[in-house]
Structure 1
Amino acid sequence: MTSSPRWSQAVPLLAVLGSVVALGLGTSFAKQLFPQVGSLGTTALRVGFSALLLLLIWRPWRWTTTRADLKSLVRYGVALGCMNLMFYQSLRTIPFGIAVAIEFSGPLAVACFTSRQRIDYLWIALAIAGLGLLLPLGHDVATINPEGVGFALGAAVFWAAYILFGKRVGHLHAGHSVALGLTMAAITVVPFGIWHAGSALLQPHVLLIGLGVAAVSSAIPISLEMVALKRLTPGAFGVMASMEPAVAALMGVLVLDEQLTSLQWLAIVLVMCAAAGSAATAKPEAHRGPADEIVQ
Protein backbone atom coordinates (compact mmCIF):
# COMPACT_ATOMS: atom_id res chain seq x y z
CA MET A 1 0.00 0.00 0.00
CA THR A 2 1.47 3.37 -1.06
CA SER A 3 0.76 6.73 0.50
CA SER A 4 -1.02 9.41 -1.51
CA PRO A 5 1.07 12.20 -3.10
CA ARG A 6 -0.83 14.78 -1.05
CA TRP A 7 0.05 13.02 2.21
CA SER A 8 3.68 12.65 1.12
CA GLN A 9 3.85 16.41 0.57
CA ALA A 10 2.22 17.14 3.91
CA VAL A 11 4.53 14.93 6.01
CA PRO A 12 7.65 17.16 5.89
CA LEU A 13 5.61 20.32 6.52
CA LEU A 14 3.90 18.71 9.50
CA ALA A 15 7.29 17.50 10.73
CA VAL A 16 8.74 21.04 10.72
CA LEU A 17 5.60 22.39 12.39
CA GLY A 18 5.79 19.66 15.04
CA SER A 19 9.45 20.42 15.63
CA VAL A 20 8.88 24.15 16.13
CA VAL A 21 5.88 23.55 18.40
CA ALA A 22 7.83 21.00 20.47
CA LEU A 23 10.66 23.51 20.90
CA GLY A 24 8.21 26.17 22.02
CA LEU A 25 6.47 23.86 24.47
CA GLY A 26 9.75 22.59 25.89
CA THR A 27 11.08 26.09 26.51
CA SER A 28 7.76 27.29 27.94
CA PHE A 29 7.71 24.45 30.47
CA ALA A 30 11.41 24.99 31.21
CA LYS A 31 10.72 28.60 32.17
CA GLN A 32 8.35 27.35 34.86
CA LEU A 33 11.38 25.83 36.63
CA PHE A 34 12.90 29.29 37.16
CA PRO A 35 11.34 29.86 40.61
CA GLN A 36 12.84 26.58 41.88
CA VAL A 37 16.31 26.39 40.30
CA GLY A 38 16.72 29.69 38.44
CA SER A 39 17.63 30.19 34.81
CA LEU A 40 21.13 28.74 35.30
CA GLY A 41 19.79 25.59 36.96
CA THR A 42 17.16 25.22 34.24
CA THR A 43 19.81 25.54 31.53
CA ALA A 44 21.91 22.88 33.25
CA LEU A 45 18.98 20.46 33.42
CA ARG A 46 17.86 21.08 29.86
CA VAL A 47 21.29 20.83 28.25
CA GLY A 48 22.56 18.07 30.54
CA PHE A 49 19.60 15.75 29.97
CA SER A 50 19.55 16.59 26.24
CA ALA A 51 23.17 15.51 25.99
CA LEU A 52 22.47 12.24 27.82
CA LEU A 53 19.45 11.48 25.62
CA LEU A 54 21.30 12.14 22.39
CA LEU A 55 24.33 10.14 23.53
CA LEU A 56 22.01 7.18 24.11
CA ILE A 57 20.18 7.70 20.80
CA TRP A 58 23.19 8.26 18.54
CA ARG A 59 26.03 6.48 20.39
CA PRO A 60 28.71 8.74 18.80
CA TRP A 61 31.51 6.43 19.94
CA ARG A 62 30.62 4.32 16.90
CA TRP A 63 32.31 6.92 14.69
CA THR A 64 35.98 7.86 14.60
CA THR A 65 36.75 11.37 15.87
CA THR A 66 40.04 12.88 14.77
CA ARG A 67 41.98 15.33 16.92
CA ALA A 68 41.11 18.17 14.52
CA ASP A 69 37.43 17.26 14.65
CA LEU A 70 37.56 17.11 18.44
CA LYS A 71 38.96 20.66 18.63
CA SER A 72 36.22 21.88 16.31
CA LEU A 73 33.57 20.06 18.35
CA VAL A 74 34.82 21.71 21.55
CA ARG A 75 34.43 25.20 20.05
CA TYR A 76 31.06 24.23 18.58
CA GLY A 77 29.83 22.85 21.90
CA VAL A 78 31.07 25.79 24.01
CA ALA A 79 29.27 28.21 21.67
CA LEU A 80 26.11 26.10 21.96
CA GLY A 81 26.35 26.03 25.76
CA CYS A 82 26.92 29.78 26.06
CA MET A 83 24.04 30.41 23.65
CA ASN A 84 21.70 28.44 25.90
CA LEU A 85 22.96 30.23 29.02
CA MET A 86 22.39 33.64 27.48
CA PHE A 87 18.99 32.71 26.07
CA TYR A 88 17.62 31.37 29.34
CA GLN A 89 19.03 34.39 31.19
CA SER A 90 17.09 36.63 28.80
CA LEU A 91 13.85 34.75 29.56
CA ARG A 92 14.01 35.93 33.18
CA THR A 93 12.99 39.44 32.17
CA ILE A 94 11.59 39.50 28.61
CA PRO A 95 8.83 37.48 26.90
CA PHE A 96 9.68 34.24 25.11
CA GLY A 97 8.67 35.41 21.62
CA ILE A 98 10.69 38.62 21.87
CA ALA A 99 13.77 36.72 23.08
CA VAL A 100 13.56 34.34 20.10
CA ALA A 101 13.05 37.20 17.63
CA ILE A 102 16.10 39.05 18.94
CA GLU A 103 18.15 35.85 18.99
CA PHE A 104 17.31 35.28 15.31
CA SER A 105 19.52 38.26 14.45
CA GLY A 106 22.52 35.96 14.90
CA PRO A 107 21.81 33.46 12.10
CA LEU A 108 20.32 36.25 9.97
CA ALA A 109 23.56 38.19 10.22
CA VAL A 110 25.59 35.13 9.22
CA ALA A 111 23.30 34.34 6.27
CA CYS A 112 23.24 37.90 4.99
CA PHE A 113 26.84 38.95 5.52
CA THR A 114 28.26 35.79 3.98
CA SER A 115 26.20 36.38 0.84
CA ARG A 116 26.74 38.88 -1.96
CA GLN A 117 23.18 38.92 -3.30
CA ARG A 118 21.46 42.30 -3.52
CA ILE A 119 18.19 40.83 -2.26
CA ASP A 120 19.87 40.24 1.10
CA TYR A 121 19.81 43.98 1.76
CA LEU A 122 16.02 43.71 1.89
CA TRP A 123 16.20 40.97 4.54
CA ILE A 124 18.73 43.02 6.53
CA ALA A 125 16.40 46.04 6.36
CA LEU A 126 13.42 43.98 7.55
CA ALA A 127 15.45 42.51 10.42
CA ILE A 128 16.72 45.95 11.47
CA ALA A 129 13.17 47.34 11.36
CA GLY A 130 11.90 44.46 13.51
CA LEU A 131 14.72 44.77 16.01
CA GLY A 132 14.26 48.54 16.09
CA LEU A 133 10.69 48.02 17.29
CA LEU A 134 11.82 45.53 19.94
CA LEU A 135 14.92 47.16 21.37
CA PRO A 136 14.64 49.98 23.96
CA LEU A 137 16.23 52.60 21.69
CA GLY A 138 14.69 55.99 22.33
CA HIS A 139 11.11 54.84 22.91
CA ASP A 140 9.38 53.66 26.07
CA VAL A 141 12.14 51.68 27.77
CA ALA A 142 9.65 50.36 30.30
CA THR A 143 8.08 48.18 27.60
CA ILE A 144 11.08 45.85 27.49
CA ASN A 145 13.87 45.11 29.97
CA PRO A 146 17.31 46.26 28.72
CA GLU A 147 19.11 43.53 30.66
CA GLY A 148 16.98 40.85 29.02
CA VAL A 149 17.63 42.39 25.61
CA GLY A 150 21.36 42.31 26.32
CA PHE A 151 21.27 38.62 27.14
CA ALA A 152 19.18 37.89 24.03
CA LEU A 153 21.69 39.76 21.88
CA GLY A 154 24.46 37.77 23.56
CA ALA A 155 22.59 34.59 22.62
CA ALA A 156 22.42 35.88 19.03
CA VAL A 157 26.20 36.39 18.96
CA PHE A 158 26.81 32.87 20.25
CA TRP A 159 24.27 31.46 17.79
CA ALA A 160 26.25 33.10 14.98
CA ALA A 161 29.48 31.64 16.39
CA TYR A 162 27.80 28.25 16.73
CA ILE A 163 26.83 28.29 13.04
CA LEU A 164 30.33 29.27 11.94
CA PHE A 165 31.96 26.62 14.14
CA GLY A 166 29.33 24.13 13.01
CA LYS A 167 30.48 24.48 9.40
CA ARG A 168 33.82 22.98 10.48
CA VAL A 169 32.10 19.77 11.61
CA GLY A 170 29.62 19.70 8.75
CA HIS A 171 31.36 16.68 7.23
CA LEU A 172 30.44 14.57 10.28
CA HIS A 173 27.19 12.65 10.63
CA ALA A 174 24.51 14.88 12.22
CA GLY A 175 24.07 12.45 15.13
CA HIS A 176 27.81 12.40 15.73
CA SER A 177 28.27 16.17 15.81
CA VAL A 178 25.04 16.97 17.68
CA ALA A 179 25.60 14.38 20.43
CA LEU A 180 29.22 15.35 21.05
CA GLY A 181 28.50 19.06 20.65
CA LEU A 182 25.74 18.90 23.25
CA THR A 183 28.00 16.91 25.56
CA MET A 184 30.57 19.70 25.37
CA ALA A 185 27.77 22.23 25.91
CA ALA A 186 26.68 20.32 29.03
CA ILE A 187 30.23 20.34 30.38
CA THR A 188 30.21 24.11 29.84
CA VAL A 189 26.86 24.98 31.48
CA VAL A 190 26.19 22.34 34.15
CA PRO A 191 28.80 23.78 36.60
CA PHE A 192 26.96 27.13 36.48
CA GLY A 193 23.69 25.38 37.32
CA ILE A 194 25.26 23.48 40.22
CA TRP A 195 26.88 26.67 41.52
CA HIS A 196 23.58 28.55 41.41
CA ALA A 197 20.97 25.93 42.39
CA GLY A 198 23.02 23.34 44.29
CA SER A 199 21.06 20.43 45.75
CA ALA A 200 17.75 21.87 44.46
CA LEU A 201 18.65 20.30 41.12
CA LEU A 202 18.38 16.83 42.68
CA GLN A 203 14.74 17.11 43.76
CA PRO A 204 12.85 14.24 42.07
CA HIS A 205 10.13 16.42 40.54
CA VAL A 206 12.72 18.89 39.23
CA LEU A 207 14.72 16.08 37.64
CA LEU A 208 11.57 14.64 36.08
CA ILE A 209 10.52 17.97 34.60
CA GLY A 210 14.07 18.57 33.35
CA LEU A 211 14.09 15.19 31.61
CA GLY A 212 10.72 15.91 30.02
CA VAL A 213 11.88 19.34 28.83
CA ALA A 214 15.02 17.80 27.31
CA ALA A 215 13.01 15.15 25.45
CA VAL A 216 10.44 17.63 24.12
CA SER A 217 12.94 20.33 23.16
CA SER A 218 15.77 18.16 21.78
CA ALA A 219 15.08 14.53 20.93
CA ILE A 220 11.64 15.09 19.38
CA PRO A 221 12.50 18.21 17.30
CA ILE A 222 15.73 16.75 15.93
CA SER A 223 14.00 13.50 14.95
CA LEU A 224 11.19 15.39 13.19
CA GLU A 225 13.64 17.68 11.39
CA MET A 226 15.57 14.76 10.01
CA VAL A 227 12.31 13.50 8.52
CA ALA A 228 11.67 16.94 7.00
CA LEU A 229 15.19 17.48 5.66
CA LYS A 230 14.98 14.26 3.64
CA ARG A 231 11.96 15.63 1.75
CA LEU A 232 12.40 19.41 1.68
CA THR A 233 14.95 21.65 -0.01
CA PRO A 234 17.13 23.64 2.42
CA GLY A 235 15.37 26.85 1.40
CA ALA A 236 11.91 25.43 2.01
CA PHE A 237 13.01 24.04 5.36
CA GLY A 238 14.40 27.43 6.38
CA VAL A 239 11.21 29.22 5.37
CA MET A 240 9.12 26.81 7.46
CA ALA A 241 11.50 27.10 10.44
CA SER A 242 11.24 30.91 10.31
CA MET A 243 7.85 30.68 12.04
CA GLU A 244 9.67 29.89 15.29
CA PRO A 245 9.42 33.44 16.76
CA ALA A 246 5.64 33.52 16.21
CA VAL A 247 5.18 30.07 17.71
CA ALA A 248 7.33 31.11 20.67
CA ALA A 249 5.24 34.25 21.17
CA LEU A 250 2.03 32.20 20.96
CA MET A 251 3.36 29.68 23.49
CA GLY A 252 4.28 32.58 25.75
CA VAL A 253 0.69 33.80 25.62
CA LEU A 254 -0.95 30.38 26.07
CA VAL A 255 1.43 28.72 28.56
CA LEU A 256 3.16 31.59 30.36
CA ASP A 257 0.45 34.27 30.16
CA GLU A 258 2.89 36.71 28.52
CA GLN A 259 1.15 39.59 26.74
CA LEU A 260 2.69 41.43 23.79
CA THR A 261 1.80 44.81 22.32
CA SER A 262 0.70 45.21 18.70
CA LEU A 263 4.08 46.80 17.86
CA GLN A 264 5.91 43.82 19.36
CA TRP A 265 3.81 41.43 17.27
CA LEU A 266 4.61 43.53 14.19
CA ALA A 267 8.32 43.36 15.05
CA ILE A 268 8.14 39.57 15.33
CA VAL A 269 6.43 39.36 11.92
CA LEU A 270 9.17 41.53 10.37
CA VAL A 271 11.90 39.30 11.80
CA MET A 272 10.05 36.22 10.53
CA CYS A 273 9.79 37.73 7.04
CA ALA A 274 13.51 38.48 7.10
CA ALA A 275 14.31 34.91 8.19
CA ALA A 276 11.97 33.36 5.62
CA GLY A 277 13.27 35.55 2.81
CA SER A 278 16.89 34.89 3.73
CA ALA A 279 16.25 31.13 3.79
CA ALA A 280 14.39 31.20 0.48
CA THR A 281 17.18 33.02 -1.35
CA ALA A 282 20.17 31.51 0.47
CA LYS A 283 22.73 29.27 -1.13
CA PRO A 284 22.28 25.58 -0.26
CA GLU A 285 25.11 25.46 2.26
CA ALA A 286 23.60 28.27 4.35
CA HIS A 287 20.51 26.38 5.55
CA ARG A 288 19.68 25.46 9.08
CA GLY A 289 20.21 21.81 9.89
CA PRO A 290 19.01 19.56 12.70
CA ALA A 291 21.67 20.78 15.07
CA ASP A 292 20.57 24.39 14.66
CA GLU A 293 17.18 23.70 16.24
CA ILE A 294 18.39 22.76 19.69
CA VAL A 295 19.17 26.29 20.82
CA GLN A 296 16.12 26.95 22.95
Structure 2
Amino acid sequence: MYLGAAFAVWLFDEVSPSGVAWLRCLGAALVLLAWRRPPRAAWRGRPLLLAGTFGVVTAGMNVLFYEAIARLPLGTAVALEFVGPVAVAAIGSRGRRDVAALVLVAVGVALIADVQLAGSPLGVLFALLAAAAWAGYIVLGKRVALADTGVSGFDSLAVGFAVATVVLSPLALGTGPVWGSGELMLLGIGVGVLSTVIPYTLDQIVLRRVGRARFAVLLALLPATATAVGLLVLGQVPTAGEGIGILAVVAGVALRSSEGSRKGGQSPEEPP
Protein backbone atom coordinates (compact mmCIF):
# COMPACT_ATOMS: atom_id res chain seq x y z
CA MET A 1 0.00 0.00 0.00
CA TYR A 2 2.64 2.54 1.01
CA LEU A 3 5.14 1.57 -1.69
CA GLY A 4 2.31 2.38 -4.07
CA ALA A 5 1.81 5.70 -2.30
CA ALA A 6 5.50 6.47 -2.79
CA PHE A 7 5.15 5.81 -6.53
CA ALA A 8 2.13 8.12 -6.61
CA VAL A 9 4.11 10.93 -4.97
CA TRP A 10 6.79 10.59 -7.64
CA LEU A 11 4.14 10.87 -10.33
CA PHE A 12 2.65 14.05 -8.82
CA ASP A 13 5.56 15.99 -10.32
CA GLU A 14 4.42 15.06 -13.84
CA VAL A 15 0.74 14.15 -13.58
CA SER A 16 -2.24 15.71 -11.79
CA PRO A 17 -3.39 13.95 -8.58
CA SER A 18 -6.68 12.90 -10.17
CA GLY A 19 -4.75 11.69 -13.21
CA VAL A 20 -2.56 9.52 -10.99
CA ALA A 21 -5.69 8.10 -9.36
CA TRP A 22 -7.09 7.25 -12.80
CA LEU A 23 -3.82 5.56 -13.78
CA ARG A 24 -4.03 3.57 -10.55
CA CYS A 25 -7.53 2.45 -11.54
CA LEU A 26 -6.44 1.61 -15.09
CA GLY A 27 -3.43 -0.39 -13.91
CA ALA A 28 -5.56 -2.32 -11.43
CA ALA A 29 -8.22 -3.04 -14.06
CA LEU A 30 -5.71 -4.36 -16.60
CA VAL A 31 -3.98 -6.64 -14.10
CA LEU A 32 -7.22 -7.94 -12.56
CA LEU A 33 -8.85 -8.59 -15.94
CA ALA A 34 -5.78 -10.47 -17.18
CA TRP A 35 -5.70 -12.52 -13.97
CA ARG A 36 -9.40 -13.27 -13.45
CA ARG A 37 -10.99 -13.10 -16.92
CA PRO A 38 -14.48 -12.64 -15.43
CA PRO A 39 -17.26 -14.81 -16.90
CA ARG A 40 -20.09 -13.35 -18.95
CA ALA A 41 -22.41 -13.46 -15.94
CA ALA A 42 -20.22 -10.84 -14.26
CA TRP A 43 -20.88 -8.34 -17.04
CA ARG A 44 -24.66 -8.16 -16.85
CA GLY A 45 -27.55 -7.59 -14.49
CA ARG A 46 -27.18 -7.30 -10.75
CA PRO A 47 -23.53 -8.50 -10.63
CA LEU A 48 -22.51 -5.73 -13.04
CA LEU A 49 -24.48 -3.08 -11.14
CA LEU A 50 -23.01 -4.07 -7.77
CA ALA A 51 -19.45 -4.42 -9.06
CA GLY A 52 -19.66 -1.20 -11.06
CA THR A 53 -20.98 0.79 -8.12
CA PHE A 54 -18.27 -0.63 -5.87
CA GLY A 55 -15.57 0.15 -8.44
CA VAL A 56 -16.69 3.74 -9.02
CA VAL A 57 -17.00 4.46 -5.28
CA THR A 58 -13.55 2.96 -4.63
CA ALA A 59 -11.88 4.78 -7.49
CA GLY A 60 -13.64 7.99 -6.47
CA MET A 61 -12.28 7.54 -2.95
CA ASN A 62 -8.75 7.36 -4.38
CA VAL A 63 -9.29 10.45 -6.54
CA LEU A 64 -10.59 12.47 -3.59
CA PHE A 65 -7.75 11.36 -1.32
CA TYR A 66 -5.06 12.22 -3.88
CA GLU A 67 -6.63 15.65 -4.36
CA ALA A 68 -6.68 16.09 -0.57
CA ILE A 69 -3.00 15.25 -0.06
CA ALA A 70 -2.12 17.64 -2.87
CA ARG A 71 -3.52 20.45 -0.68
CA LEU A 72 -3.08 19.25 2.91
CA PRO A 73 -0.30 17.68 4.94
CA LEU A 74 -0.55 13.90 4.58
CA GLY A 75 -1.17 13.42 8.30
CA THR A 76 -4.08 15.84 8.31
CA ALA A 77 -5.69 14.21 5.28
CA VAL A 78 -5.27 10.71 6.73
CA ALA A 79 -6.82 11.74 10.04
CA LEU A 80 -9.81 13.33 8.32
CA GLU A 81 -10.29 10.34 6.03
CA PHE A 82 -10.43 7.98 9.00
CA VAL A 83 -13.73 9.60 9.96
CA GLY A 84 -15.24 7.16 7.44
CA PRO A 85 -14.16 3.76 8.82
CA VAL A 86 -14.51 4.94 12.42
CA ALA A 87 -18.10 5.98 11.67
CA VAL A 88 -18.84 2.56 10.18
CA ALA A 89 -17.39 0.88 13.24
CA ALA A 90 -19.41 3.15 15.53
CA ILE A 91 -22.65 2.30 13.74
CA GLY A 92 -21.90 -1.41 14.13
CA SER A 93 -20.97 -1.19 17.80
CA ARG A 94 -23.20 -2.74 20.45
CA GLY A 95 -21.40 -2.73 23.78
CA ARG A 96 -19.09 -0.78 26.07
CA ARG A 97 -16.11 -2.82 24.91
CA ASP A 98 -16.78 -1.73 21.32
CA VAL A 99 -17.07 1.91 22.34
CA ALA A 100 -13.84 1.73 24.34
CA ALA A 101 -12.05 0.19 21.34
CA LEU A 102 -13.33 2.93 19.06
CA VAL A 103 -12.23 5.66 21.48
CA LEU A 104 -8.73 4.16 21.64
CA VAL A 105 -8.55 3.92 17.85
CA ALA A 106 -9.81 7.47 17.34
CA VAL A 107 -7.29 8.86 19.83
CA GLY A 108 -4.50 6.80 18.30
CA VAL A 109 -5.27 7.90 14.75
CA ALA A 110 -5.39 11.55 15.84
CA LEU A 111 -2.02 11.28 17.60
CA ILE A 112 -0.32 9.45 14.74
CA ALA A 113 -1.68 11.80 12.11
CA ASP A 114 -0.82 14.87 14.19
CA VAL A 115 -4.00 16.59 13.08
CA GLN A 116 -3.58 20.23 12.18
CA LEU A 117 -6.11 22.90 11.49
CA ALA A 118 -3.86 24.46 8.87
CA GLY A 119 -4.60 23.79 5.22
CA SER A 120 -6.98 24.81 2.50
CA PRO A 121 -10.74 24.50 3.01
CA LEU A 122 -10.93 22.73 -0.35
CA GLY A 123 -8.39 20.17 0.83
CA VAL A 124 -10.44 19.55 3.97
CA LEU A 125 -13.55 19.09 1.83
CA PHE A 126 -11.77 16.57 -0.41
CA ALA A 127 -10.56 14.63 2.65
CA LEU A 128 -14.04 14.50 4.20
CA LEU A 129 -15.55 13.38 0.91
CA ALA A 130 -12.86 10.68 0.76
CA ALA A 131 -13.93 9.64 4.26
CA ALA A 132 -17.52 9.23 3.08
CA ALA A 133 -16.34 7.23 0.07
CA TRP A 134 -14.22 5.02 2.37
CA ALA A 135 -17.30 4.24 4.45
CA GLY A 136 -19.09 3.33 1.22
CA TYR A 137 -16.15 1.13 0.21
CA ILE A 138 -16.45 -0.87 3.44
CA VAL A 139 -20.21 -1.37 3.14
CA LEU A 140 -20.15 -2.19 -0.59
CA GLY A 141 -17.01 -4.31 -0.24
CA LYS A 142 -18.80 -6.53 2.26
CA ARG A 143 -21.72 -6.96 -0.13
CA VAL A 144 -19.40 -7.80 -3.01
CA ALA A 145 -17.52 -10.34 -0.89
CA LEU A 146 -20.71 -12.11 0.25
CA ALA A 147 -22.96 -11.56 -2.79
CA ASP A 148 -25.04 -14.56 -3.86
CA THR A 149 -24.89 -13.57 -7.52
CA GLY A 150 -22.73 -16.53 -8.52
CA VAL A 151 -19.81 -14.20 -9.27
CA SER A 152 -16.74 -14.25 -7.02
CA GLY A 153 -15.58 -11.15 -5.20
CA PHE A 154 -12.32 -11.21 -7.15
CA ASP A 155 -14.15 -11.23 -10.50
CA SER A 156 -16.30 -8.37 -9.23
CA LEU A 157 -13.15 -6.41 -8.39
CA ALA A 158 -11.94 -6.81 -11.98
CA VAL A 159 -15.29 -5.76 -13.42
CA GLY A 160 -15.66 -2.90 -10.94
CA PHE A 161 -12.33 -1.31 -11.77
CA ALA A 162 -12.93 -1.77 -15.49
CA VAL A 163 -16.24 0.09 -15.15
CA ALA A 164 -14.62 2.78 -12.99
CA THR A 165 -11.82 3.27 -15.53
CA VAL A 166 -14.40 3.99 -18.22
CA VAL A 167 -16.66 6.17 -16.04
CA LEU A 168 -13.72 8.26 -14.81
CA SER A 169 -11.96 8.36 -18.20
CA PRO A 170 -12.21 12.20 -18.44
CA LEU A 171 -9.54 12.27 -15.71
CA ALA A 172 -7.13 10.78 -18.25
CA LEU A 173 -6.74 14.30 -19.63
CA GLY A 174 -4.35 14.95 -16.75
CA THR A 175 -2.06 12.05 -17.65
CA GLY A 176 -0.50 13.44 -20.85
CA PRO A 177 3.21 13.05 -19.95
CA VAL A 178 2.75 9.38 -19.04
CA TRP A 179 2.02 8.20 -22.58
CA GLY A 180 5.38 9.37 -23.86
CA SER A 181 7.42 7.83 -21.04
CA GLY A 182 7.78 4.11 -20.41
CA GLU A 183 9.12 4.84 -16.93
CA LEU A 184 6.10 6.93 -15.94
CA MET A 185 3.74 4.32 -17.41
CA LEU A 186 5.47 1.62 -15.39
CA LEU A 187 5.11 3.72 -12.24
CA GLY A 188 1.41 4.22 -12.97
CA ILE A 189 0.83 0.48 -13.35
CA GLY A 190 2.92 -0.10 -10.23
CA VAL A 191 0.63 2.22 -8.25
CA GLY A 192 -2.35 0.20 -9.43
CA VAL A 193 -0.81 -3.14 -8.46
CA LEU A 194 0.66 -2.13 -5.10
CA SER A 195 -2.08 0.22 -3.90
CA THR A 196 -5.14 -1.49 -5.38
CA VAL A 197 -4.74 -5.05 -6.69
CA ILE A 198 -2.88 -6.53 -3.71
CA PRO A 199 -4.56 -4.72 -0.78
CA TYR A 200 -8.11 -4.80 -2.19
CA THR A 201 -7.79 -8.50 -3.06
CA LEU A 202 -6.73 -9.16 0.53
CA ASP A 203 -9.67 -7.02 1.70
CA GLN A 204 -12.06 -9.35 -0.12
CA ILE A 205 -10.58 -12.32 1.73
CA VAL A 206 -10.85 -10.56 5.09
CA LEU A 207 -14.35 -9.19 4.48
CA ARG A 208 -15.65 -12.74 4.03
CA ARG A 209 -14.52 -13.60 7.53
CA VAL A 210 -15.26 -10.52 9.64
CA GLY A 211 -18.06 -7.96 9.99
CA ARG A 212 -17.98 -4.37 8.75
CA ALA A 213 -17.41 -2.92 12.23
CA ARG A 214 -14.48 -5.17 13.03
CA PHE A 215 -13.00 -4.60 9.57
CA ALA A 216 -13.29 -0.83 10.00
CA VAL A 217 -11.38 -0.99 13.29
CA LEU A 218 -8.70 -3.21 11.74
CA LEU A 219 -8.22 -0.54 9.07
CA ALA A 220 -6.95 1.70 11.84
CA LEU A 221 -3.72 -0.30 11.66
CA LEU A 222 -2.94 1.55 8.43
CA PRO A 223 -1.53 4.72 10.05
CA ALA A 224 0.47 2.55 12.44
CA THR A 225 1.84 0.66 9.45
CA ALA A 226 2.62 3.94 7.71
CA THR A 227 4.61 5.08 10.73
CA ALA A 228 6.57 1.82 10.74
CA VAL A 229 7.29 2.06 7.02
CA GLY A 230 8.38 5.67 7.45
CA LEU A 231 10.81 4.61 10.16
CA LEU A 232 12.25 1.58 8.34
CA VAL A 233 12.31 2.86 4.77
CA LEU A 234 12.49 6.64 5.04
CA GLY A 235 14.25 7.03 8.39
CA GLN A 236 11.37 9.07 9.85
CA VAL A 237 11.55 8.64 13.62
CA PRO A 238 8.09 8.88 15.21
CA THR A 239 7.52 11.50 17.87
CA ALA A 240 6.46 10.59 21.39
CA GLY A 241 2.86 11.41 20.46
CA GLU A 242 2.99 9.14 17.43
CA GLY A 243 4.44 6.33 19.53
CA ILE A 244 1.60 6.66 22.04
CA GLY A 245 -0.84 6.75 19.11
CA ILE A 246 0.49 3.48 17.73
CA LEU A 247 0.03 1.82 21.11
CA ALA A 248 -3.51 3.21 21.39
CA VAL A 249 -4.46 1.91 17.94
CA VAL A 250 -3.01 -1.53 18.61
CA ALA A 251 -4.81 -1.65 21.97
CA GLY A 252 -8.11 -0.68 20.32
CA VAL A 253 -7.73 -3.30 17.60
CA ALA A 254 -6.82 -5.96 20.16
CA LEU A 255 -9.81 -5.03 22.32
CA ARG A 256 -12.26 -5.20 19.40
CA SER A 257 -10.70 -8.38 17.96
CA SER A 258 -10.73 -10.22 21.29
CA GLU A 259 -14.45 -9.38 21.58
CA GLY A 260 -15.05 -10.87 18.13
CA SER A 261 -13.06 -13.98 19.00
CA ARG A 262 -14.96 -14.43 22.27
CA LYS A 263 -18.19 -14.49 20.25
CA GLY A 264 -16.87 -17.13 17.90
CA GLY A 265 -15.25 -14.84 15.36
CA GLN A 266 -18.55 -13.39 14.17
CA SER A 267 -19.28 -9.72 14.23
CA PRO A 268 -22.59 -9.03 16.00
CA GLU A 269 -24.13 -7.06 13.15
CA GLU A 270 -23.43 -9.72 10.50
CA PRO A 271 -25.48 -12.88 9.82
CA PRO A 272 -23.77 -16.31 9.87
Pair in the same fold by TM > 0.5:
yes
**Aligned partner of residue 133 in structure 2, secondary structure:** helix
Aligned to 1:217: 195
Aligned to 2:140: 165
Aligned to 1:9: none
1:154 corresponds to 2:129: yes
Aligned to 1:85: 63
The residue type equivalent to 2:183 in the other structure is H
d(CA) in 2 for partners of 1:24 and 1:286?
A: 32
Structure 1 alignment gaps of length 5 or more: 1-22, 288-296
1:56 corresponds to 2:34: yes
| Alpha-carbon spacing, 1:57–1:204, altered in 2? closer, same or farther (3 Å) | same
Q: Say which is worse superposed, 165-174 or 90-99, in terms of deviation.
A: 90-99
**Correspondence for 1:201 among 155, 173, 178:** 178
Aligned to 1:182: 161
The answer to whether the 8 A contact 2:85-2:134 is kept is yes
d(CA) in 1 for partners of 2:203 and 2:58?
A: 18
CA deviations 1:96-131 (Å, max 9, x no partner) are 465445433322321221232232211232244346
| Alpha-carbon spacing, 1:186–1:167, altered in 2? closer, same or farther (3 Å) | same
d(CA) in 2 for partners of 1:259 and 1:89?
A: 27
d(CA) in 2 for partners of 1:156 and 1:209?
A: 26
The answer to whether the 8 A contact 1:43-1:189 is kept is no
| Alpha-carbon spacing, 1:153–1:255, altered in 2? closer, same or farther (3 Å) | farther
The answer to whether the 8 A contact 2:42-2:159 is kept is no
The answer to whether the 8 A contact 1:98-1:249 is kept is no
| Alpha-carbon spacing, 1:261–1:27, altered in 2? closer, same or farther (3 Å) | same
User: What is the deviation of 1:271?
Assistant: 4.4
User: What is the deviation of 1:66?
Assistant: 4.9
d(CA) in 2 for partners of 1:73 and 1:208?
A: 26
CA deviations 1:116-175 (Å, max 9, x no partner) are 223221123224434655444xxxx34x66654443332221011122233433324121
User: What is the deviation of 1:75?
Assistant: 2.2
Aligned to 1:34: 12
The answer to whether the 8 A contact 1:84-1:155 is kept is yes
The answer to whether the 8 A contact 1:96-1:252 is kept is no
Aligned to 2:266: 284
TM-score normalised by the chain length of structure 1: 0.70
The residue type equivalent to 1:204 in the other structure is G
**Aligned partner of residue 75 in structure 1, secondary structure:** helix
Structure 2 alignment gaps of length 5 or more: none
Q: Say which is worse superposed, 83-92 or 161-170, in terms of deviation.
A: 161-170
d(CA) in 2 for partners of 1:160 and 1:286?
A: 18
d(CA) in 1 for partners of 2:28 and 2:61?
A: 15
d(CA) in 1 for partners of 2:11 and 2:257?
A: 34
d(CA) in 1 for partners of 2:88 and 2:165?
A: 25
The answer to whether the 8 A contact 2:60-2:133 is kept is yes
| Alpha-carbon spacing, 1:158–1:264, altered in 2? closer, same or farther (3 Å) | same
The answer to whether the 8 A contact 1:45-1:190 is kept is no
Q: Percent of pairs identical after alignment?
A: 34
d(CA) in 2 for partners of 1:158 and 1:30?
A: 20
The residue type equivalent to 2:266 in the other structure is P
d(CA) in 1 for partners of 2:7 and 2:68?
A: 15
CA deviations 1:66-113 (Å, max 9, x no partner) are 522322223222211111111112222445465445433322321221
TM-score normalised by the chain length of structure 2: 0.75
CA deviations 1:7-38 (Å, max 9, x no partner) are xxxxxxxxxxxxxxxx1111122111101102
Alignment of 1:212-291 (within 5 A): 212-221=190-199, 234=210, 242-252=220-230, 261-267=239-245, 269-282=247-260, 284=266
Aligned to 1:75: 53
